[in-house]
Structure 1
Amino acid sequence: MSESPTDPMIGRLIDGRYQVRSRIARGGMATVYLATDLRLERRVAIKIMHGHLADDNSFKARFVQEARSAARLAHPNVVNVYDQGQDADMAYLVMEYLPGITLRDLIKDYGRLTPEQTMDILEAVLGGLAAAHKAGIVHRDLKPENVLLADDGRIKIGDFGLARAANNNTATGQALLGTIAYLSPELVTRGIADARSDIYALGIMTYEMLTGEQPYVGEAPMQIAYQHANDTVPMPSVKVPSIPRELDELVLWATARDPEQRPRDARVMLDQLLDVEKLVRPASADTGMAPTMMFPGGFGDASATADTQILGAQPLAKPAAALPSSSTLLATKGEKRKRRGYWLFTLVVLLAALAGGTGWYFGSGPGSQIAVPRLASMTPEKAAAALAELDLTSKPGEEYNNEIAAGLVSSTKPDAGTRVAKGTAVTVLVSKGRQPITLPTLTGLGQDAAETAITDLGATVGSTDEVFNSSLEEGTVVSATRESDGGDVSKGGAYFEGLAVNLVVSLGPIPDVTGKSVPDATAILKEKGLGAETGEQRYSDTIAKDAVIKLSAAKSGPVRVGDVLVLTTSRGPEPVEVPNVVGKPWEEGKKILTDLGFKLKYNPGADAIAAVLTIDATDPAAGQTIPKGATIELTPKF
């Protein structure tokens, strides 16, 4: 970022010691200036917190934490922090100054780096990160913006503003302050970070250096976060087939979604990288060529944001590797101009060696094989075009697939990621949709048998509803429906793999409490999980007074556990008025009374009945109300 002509900080003397010269960069939390340490007469970078954040204790704590975390480290690949303090209401941090570019700038200039250049940068970053992990510090915000490639070839990591002790894994409100593109799955889902979270971020950076792009992209941060939490980072060679398999495996190891499957810290990954380097470039020792170096150049001040710019200049015993941004980087200031011929000569030698190696690699070496790309969910036409770009041919095929819509590519043979020779025919399998199945009759089967029949066909069991049923035993399927559209499949029918079937299962019949007292009936129903309430009373010739005549549901539909049933109880027999049969013929009067449900008793005895002509009297007398079925005494008239 260019210097602002109106910046009030330019020329200011901070804490009586640091004279501000120019602005280097500005970020969301602070601005970084080039300054002169008047006491030690050296150039430094001074990071000054924005004024509107100075009163925020949480930001100030992070600012101080950065100084303390970095100050605990002493490593040539970690930026040095010299001082930290406050001048009036202004919090500041003093760091070593080193002009150069960030790894982000380098990737932007070149698109992607070679495997050798990637390994050189990765080795330096892992060295510094291993020192941090050994000191118990987790960086938590590793990204290309925080890796500085200095003009003199050194590589440093910095910006420990999010760093915390490695044993402090508890999530806080600032757990997701790191750049979303490099956050590990555990940081996204649980807000927890340890040394393995740094390893994940470094794996993503390695993928980006090798391919020139990040593995996950999206229109919104949450889309990217979702992919980190749920997807597996693809092999870099899917994008760039020339990438060695060993680097593929290193990236997959570092970016495993399960932290337990990653290197436990940077030292473990560094040791593995050194072994990989021996396999990937065994010819270096024979040719006498050193790893790619960061060539000196006239970069001026770094242009990265203030919160991610790494500043520093301490000599290294062994310069770390990096990459020149273009041929103009070979031009240097002062005496460096005299070395232009040397660097050009070296570059020509390197390019010649690279050309020879490339011819071998793609002609008869590992580069002659190509990783089958992931084509799932593409149209067949796009899949064929993608294969053609990789010098592979496509062969059509079909398969049923429960996840991919019909008409789109569901898989390939060989599988995605498999390395094959150029010209190989890859079978592109297009989805025919879900596999059709035919369900058997399910009504009348036991629940276990029905579920087995469903799952054996590749469908799933959805919801299970339990109802009381008077005709089916407990545990027997009453009915079944398709979850997809509610269609009845009680008697079987067409369906598809992967879809659910909902079952209704019998709880057996509702207990018969007819003739029971209300307390007894309530207790019996309660044992079955049913409630009871007393409803209307009715006359009954057969059920004793106050006993239960019948049950009915309080609401329509099947009866389930927890439902309340209504008890209809007896009022006893219905009262009937005695009719007047006095004076009627004997047989006619008897018929009238018996038709009304009365019982009859004769007075005098049966020996005189034959001479009876009419009914002379009744007891009870006509007009009285008595229960239906009661006995009436008849007096005959001879």
Structure 2
Amino acid sequence: MDTTLQDPLVGQLLDGRYRIDARIAVGGMATVYRAVDTRLDRVLALKVMHPSLAVDGFERFIREAKSVARLAHPNVVQVFDQGTDGSYVYLAMEYVAGCTLRDVLRERGALQPRAALDILEPVLAALGAAHRAGFVHRDMKPENVLIGDDGRVKVADFGLVRAVDTVTNTTGTVLGTVSYLAPEQIENGTADPRVDVYACGVMLYEMLTGDKPHDGDSPAVILYKHLHEDVPPPSAAVPGLAYELDEMVASATARTPEIRPHDAVALLAQVRDGRSRLSADQLDVVPPQALTAEHDNADDRTSVIPRALTTPRPLPVNEDDEAGEAVLHRTSRFQSPPPPPSRRRSGPRRGPMAIVVAVLLVLGLGAGVWYINSGQFTEVPPLLSKTQAQAEDRLRDAGLELGTVKHAYSDTVERGQVISSDPKAGTRIRGNDAVSITLSDGPETVRVPALEGRTLDKARAQLKQDGLEPGMVTREFSEDVPRGSVISARPADGTQVRAGTAVALVVSKGSPVDIPDITGDDLADARAELQDAGLKVKIATERVTSSEFDKGQVAKQSPNPGGQAAEGDTVTLTLSKGPEMVEVPDVVGDSVDDARQALEGAGFQVDEDRGLLGLFGDTVEDQSVKGGETAPKGSTITIRIR
């Protein structure tokens, strides 16, 4: 039975713009549809929150839209729009035609190392961009890795994203999926970039073996194993896997956060370095857990992911890439062109001297070729990601010397390792020549400046000047710090952080002011009272009818009385138009019951005046407001009975 036929949104036009064509996936929080933006005529994915969760989950949707908007990265699923339509809250997102990594694992089981790394590298590139922008994903799992039909890999669902250094109080509920949670998430709810690193290590293990590292009969058992058991090496499940793959998994899934790579960029550097040491045979190992033993590249999604479609590497950390490129520039063995076909020519014959010159030319050319390809020249060996001592040993073995040693900052190469060499690896140079190297000083670090007391604009400018990024801004009351100035920063001033780190700011709203209740006051009195309290006044353009307040009196105020506002905040006043005037029915001569029914039906209250003569009467003799005249709706009309 096609469940999409029962979906009320399929076939509908959401928010007057997005035509929903089909349902793609259903989750615990939202449903994803394939839709068409009728305004721009493009296919996109529409993520619609379940209406029952719209109140509690709206903040998460807004957070996802804002965080992804800051990540203009080719391996992140982009968010185009966010909005609401009645009870539906939605995100309009990039549509990726293909499947998820979970689909691939379900179909293929364990993957070859080459395919696993081809998927992992762009995932780490996307997370690295998020980490450097100050965000943590917190919910990395195969379901959130999309693989397009063209081989592109993208990370989706940044709904649980949080700023770096944010502590999440779980209060009994752990966010994320239990199989990919880092121990510190389980214990105290903290989430920094290393929780994403841990999740990627678990995903790499699952891609290499076809199974999760920890299993159990209940989520509690799995959580316990994450806390107390190391992730086993994948080679224990797949004999023949290279030691470098075990190293990658062990480093990323260390139970102690301090031992893991500090973010996805650092893990990406480790993965590329480890990959550079793997041979083609080691990369193409077919694990016995693979559901398809023989892989046809035409059908195997993970086999055809083109490396060119993954993100460009920020720095060349893979030695083989530089060496391979250098092959194109190596000196080739000269080959003399074949002599042209002999033709009898008229004219003088070449003499013996011409023959001697030709022979000497050929001999000289051969000698030159021999000289270039002899021991007088040697290739510069690959030195990237090596320590200075290791680089010096490699150069010595190649008959070369170590030249100038320079230093530079690097986000991807560990401190003390080689970033580049001059000449590059593979270049042929004369024996005993010197090769200069540049060593990494690690990521550039800067000190968070003292920002307390500065205005928000000046604080942001100072952060950018110091190589940092202004982060999330929250506002709090303060009796000591002027309105609009910084109370504190996180990380705190003086903290040594990486360049480009986002710094969250707490800005003063000024001293708190109690909001007085001025409903029922005349406008002049209300304005004076609010201004005396240090608040500004704004008058709403529309007025409301009110039977409680006379025309011109304050009928409503926003914010409501009894709360607090900052000095200088604005209170909006809505004035009364007075009560609604309604025409009074003429009930003279009617029975008491008919008169009461007519007056109450018109919105009036009724009072009976019977006097002494009307105690037993049933006919209305007179009414306090004559029929045809108007009176305030809800007011009382008195009828005299005879």
> TM-score band, normalised by the shorter chain?
0.3 to 0.5
TM-score (normalizing by structure 2): 0.44
Bigger relative contact order (CA 8 A; separation at least 6): 1
